[in-house]
Amino acid sequence: RSNILSRQYLVGVTDRARAIHNGFLNEAVQWGVHSLLLRMGVFYLAFRCARAGQAIYRRQQNFQDALMGLSLIGGLIAFSVGGFFGDYWDSEWGLQLVALCMGYYRIAVLRERELQSMEYAPAQFNPGPWGGMPNPMVPTPQWTRIGPVIPG
C-alpha cells in the first residue's frame, strides 16, 4: 500500500518517493557499494591523469596547457563536491570530465615523446635586409628543429 515504512512517525509525508540528496548514498543504494567504489575509482584515476599531465606541461614550461590541467582538476573537485551534497553523481557531465582528463594526459604524453624524439642543430645565419647584420628587432633562433630522430 505504501512505500514509506513507519508512516506514523513522519508527519505530513505523502506516498511519493523522495531523493536522498547525497550522491554517494544514492549511488550506493541504487546501484550498490561496488558501483560506488567503481565510480569513485574512475574519478580518482581521472584526477591522477590530470595531475600527471599538468606535471609534464610544467616540466616543459608550457604554462598555458598546465593551466588547463589545473582547470580540469578544479572541475573534478567541484563535480565531486556537488555530487557529495547533491544528487549529481549519475549525470553524464562527470563522465565527460573524466574523458577530458584522460585525453589531456594522453596528449601531454604524446607531446613529450615528440619533443624527446626531435634532433636540434645550430640555426643557419640569416643576414637579413641590412646585408650581414641580423635585424636586432627580430629575434633569431639559436637552434632549429631538424626533424624526428630515426632510430637505427
Q: What is the pLDDT along the chain (152 residues), one digit of tens a residue?
A: 444 454 555 555 555 555 566 777 777 777 788 888 888 899 999 999 999 999 999 998 888 999 999 999 999 999 988 888 877 777 788 889 999 999 999 999 999 988 877 765 555 555 555 555 555 555 555 555 555 555 54
Cell numbers representing residue 49 in the block: 591523469
Nearest to 50 by CA among 96, 99, 95: 99
Q: Say how far residue 133 (Cα) sits from the centre of its chain.
A: 47
Nearest to 72 by CA among 104, 41, 108: 104
What is the model's pTM? 0.63
